[in-house]
Chain A
Amino acid sequence: MDSAGTTTLEELEQSPDYDVQLESLNQWQIAWRRFKRHRMALIGSVLFLGMVAVGVFGPFFLPYDHTVIGAPDAKFNAGRPPSPAHLFGDTGRLHRDVLTLVVNGVRLSLLIGILASAMGAIIGTIVGGIAGYFGGWADTILMRIVDALLALPLLFVILVFSQFLGEGHASWWTMTLIFGAFGWLGIARLVRAVMLSLREEDYVDAARAAGVSDLRIIFRHLVPNSLSPIIVATTLGVAGVIIGEAFVSFLGFGVDPAQPTLGNILSGSLEFISQKNWWWAFFPGAAIVVIVLGINFMGDGLRDALDPRAKI
């Protein structure tokens, strides 16, 4: 080898490069390749993204406005079945259009699900990252807090909180905050476990030797390395929050019915099930199933695609 001290940029650019001639793919490109070959994941993504599209754009195409509520019809109390004017039928008592409710419900339920699980992912990553990287006292204290919160019957806590904060009917963002504030526990455990193994990597020592601070090592070096399990857990978390919100709203402790979510539409239908108003319960229920199924298929595909040990 010639003296390295005398080479210049120009020479190096012209010198033959024997090291890598192939165009190599980074981990995201490889993951995308695997994901594309995963049929269930593709179906799941279509279902989920389709519902997202419905939630985002649907309300602009509807002839009715869900915020305009007419007076109760004194003569005809029961809901009316699907018809050309009301494709999903209309509800009992107030005669609201079910399609309008479902589309707006999808919008709000998805919004709550995505925001709450993103919030959970952020809190969980911070807590888990600090606990796993520093270990010792920080780890003990943070993880005992997680253990204690996990020991609480979460559903009842959420019911109590929604009562307390919303005085019976919470707004959608209070629900988001509540689910976000309690939804980070699993992610924190997951991230901690990943950190425990990653902090032993040589590149962590190399970064410390270069003068990089601990927090920067956690969030700039280690979190990107543990992104795959975080993404999978967060995706599946969206489904969990949507079901949880539906459950809480169904019990009547959730979002105010003036703001339709898939859960509170179902809650309203309960009273009219005995009058065979099936359309009122069926369509929001089906929307929940499609969203959750889509997310679960997609999460499964992501898990396989992002697994570094899986074959291409």
Chain B
Amino acid sequence: MTDALAARERRAGVGEVLLDVRDLRTHFHVMDGTVKAVDGVSFSLRRGGRLALVGESGCGKSVTALSIMRLIETPPGEFAGGEIIFDGRDLLKLGGRDLREIRGGEIAMIFQEPMTSLNPVMTVGDQIAEAVLLHQGVKRKAADEVALQSLVDVGVPDPKRRLKQYPFELSGGMRQRIMIAMALSCNPKLIIADEPTTALDVTIQRQILELIKTIQERTGTALLLITHDLGVVAETVDDVAVMYAGRVVETGTVDDVLLNPRMPYTRGLLESIPSQAKKGQRLSAIKGVVPNPFRMPPGCKFEPRCPYAWEAGATEEPPLIELGPDRTARCWLYDRRYQDHLAQYDAHITNDSGGTTS
């Protein structure tokens, strides 16, 4: 419990809103029509805060991250609406030099694939120094010092030799450390980590997560973690936004969302994690598949797969309903009009499991 308390104190200590994504809509015009990969995503992140965007493949979490970095190619992509306010400026309205100054300088990104995210014909030192030279207006020699220091910060053994090596000489875990060192080197206000551990094996995953966390705590930069792995979420962040079919469907603190999920989709996700407590039982899964992006259900996007759905969800999409401070869920269950459904639902879950998630 002390952990939770510490987390709460930390949250109270963090500053004003740094990143405010409001009703972001990123669409892709492809041969067969328009894919609304992100369709009305809103969330905010405070200075020094740690937020995870969680969801299945194709829910739009990576597109959200790439939209913030403005790495979506337009066309085929299109920013069909919304705002991304970062430090007082709308990133969707920036271009050219302003954008390049923010990229890498104020927002840094760590990619999923460390094996392919480094240029094979540039030395590690050159690649780190490049970002430093671009953003800090220093001489080459000073940039090299910064590069060395950032390798030290991420705990790379024999850092002086590493600077002169090419990526192919390094293992996956080492390359991800290099990527983190690059992200760090310009002291960004926000680090976006897009599935930073997915391509790594389990022991290295743990090290990399620890590293990201340590660095985040030491430097006080904000962290936006994109992942499908709820285990990673529990260990790394303070707040969670769950995404489904291009929307945010539930937000709250890690404890609230993971221990007391309010949206049936989140509950389904958590129940589908294998655990020691459920040993011998059949693993539960969410029925059905993610909706076809060309034929989205008209109402709640989760309605076709939702075991608790009734007519309301089939016809009209629920808004994000506020459940408390920093706690929302996109589900008709929490609309005052449907209190009887909520009562049924609550009864159902208590009967069903007796707290499978704890």
Give chain A's interface residues, CB within 8 Å of chain B: 1, 3-5, 7-9, 12-13, 15-20, 24, 26-27, 201-203, 205-213, 220-221, 224-225, 227
User: Across the interface, which residues of A come within 8 angstroms of B135, CB to CB?
Assistant: 211
B166 within 8 A of A: yes
User: Across the interface, which residues of B come within 8 angstroms of A201, CB to CB?
Assistant: 116
Asked if A4 meets B155 with Cβ closer than 8 Å, knowing A13-B160, A211-B105, the reply is: yes
B131 within 8 A of A: yes
How many chain B residues touch the partner (CB < 8 A)?
A: 50
Q: Are B158 and A12 in contact (CB under 8 A)?
A: yes
B46 within 8 A of A: no
**How many Å lie between the Cα of A4 and that of B108 in the bound state?**
20
**How many Å lie between the Cα of A213 and that of B211 in the bound state?**
29
User: Across the interface, which residues of B come within 8 angstroms of A20, CB to CB?
Assistant: 165, 169-171
Q: Are B159 and A12 in contact (CB under 8 A)?
A: yes
Given contact pairs A211-B103, A220-B130, a sample of 17 additional A-B residue pairs in the complex whose CB atoms are under 8 Å apart = A1-B155, A1-B206, A1-B207, A19-B170, A26-B166, A202-B113, A205-B111, A206-B111, A207-B119, A207-B130, A210-B130, A212-B104, A212-B131, A213-B100, A221-B119, A225-B120, A225-B121
User: Across the interface, which residues of A come within 8 angstroms of B37, CB to CB?
Assistant: none
B142 within 8 A of A: no
Asked if A202 meets B116 with Cβ closer than 8 Å, knowing A210-B103, A210-B108, the reply is: yes
How far does the Cβ of A200 sit from chain B's closest Cβ, in whole Å?
10
B241 within 8 A of A: no
**How many Å lie between the Cα of A30 and that of B207 in the bound state?**
33
Asked if A27 meets B121 with Cβ closer than 8 Å, knowing A4-B211, A211-B104, the reply is: yes
User: Across the interface, which residues of B come within 8 angstroms of A212, CB to CB?
Assistant: 100, 104, 130-131, 134
**How many Å lie between the Cα of A285 and that of B157 in the bound state?**
61
**How many Å lie between the Cα of A146 and that of B4 in the bound state?**
65
User: Across the interface, which residues of B come within 8 angstroms of A24, CB to CB?
Assistant: 168-169
B71 within 8 A of A: yes
User: Across the interface, which residues of A come within 8 angstroms of B170, CB to CB?
Assistant: 19-20
Q: Are B131 and A210 in contact (CB under 8 A)?
A: yes
Contacting chain A: which of B8-16, B146-154, B300-308? Answer: B146-154
How far does the Cβ of A201 sit from chain B's closest Cβ, in whole Å?
7
Q: Are B218 and A8 in contact (CB under 8 A)?
A: no
Q: Of residues 169 to 203 in B, which have CB atoms within 8 Å of A's CB atoms?
A: 169-171, 174, 179, 182
Q: Are A19 and B157 in contact (CB under 8 A)?
A: yes
0/1 per residue, B307-328, Cβ < 8 Å to A? Answer: 0000000000000000000000
User: Across the interface, which residues of A come within 8 angstroms of B171, CB to CB?
Assistant: 19-20
B69 within 8 A of A: yes
**How many Å lie between the Cα of A143 and that of B101 in the bound state?**
32
User: Across the interface, which residues of A come within 8 angstroms of B109, CB to CB?
Assistant: 206, 209
**How many Å lie between the Cα of A205 and that of B62 in the bound state?**
13
B156 within 8 A of A: yes
B210 within 8 A of A: yes
Q: List 28 A-B contacts (CB under 8 A).
A: A1-B206, A3-B210, A3-B214, A4-B210, A4-B211, A5-B153, A5-B217, A5-B218, A7-B152, A8-B152, A13-B159, A19-B174, A20-B169, A202-B116, A203-B116, A205-B71, A206-B111, A208-B69, A208-B71, A209-B71, A210-B103, A211-B102, A211-B134, A212-B104, A212-B131, A213-B100, A221-B119, A225-B120
User: Across the interface, which residues of A come within 8 angstroms of B101, CB to CB?
Assistant: 211
User: Across the interface, which residues of A come within 8 angstroms of B158, CB to CB?
Assistant: 12-13, 15, 17
Q: Are B104 and A4 in contact (CB under 8 A)?
A: no
User: Across the interface, which residues of A come within 8 angstroms of B344, CB to CB?
Assistant: none
How far does the Cβ of A294 sit from chain B's closest Cβ, in whole Å?
28
Q: Are A208 and B119 in contact (CB under 8 A)?
A: no
User: Across the interface, which residues of B come within 8 angstroms of A18, CB to CB?
Assistant: 157
**How many Å lie between the Cα of A131 and that of B71 in the bound state?**
20
The 7 A-B pairs of least Cβ separation, nearest first, read: A211-B104, A210-B104, A211-B103, A4-B155, A202-B116, A209-B109, A17-B157
0/1 per residue, B249-280, Cβ < 8 Å to A? Answer: 00000000000000000000000000000000
How far does the Cβ of B86 sit from chain A's closest Cβ, in whole Å?
14
B215 within 8 A of A: yes
B122 within 8 A of A: yes
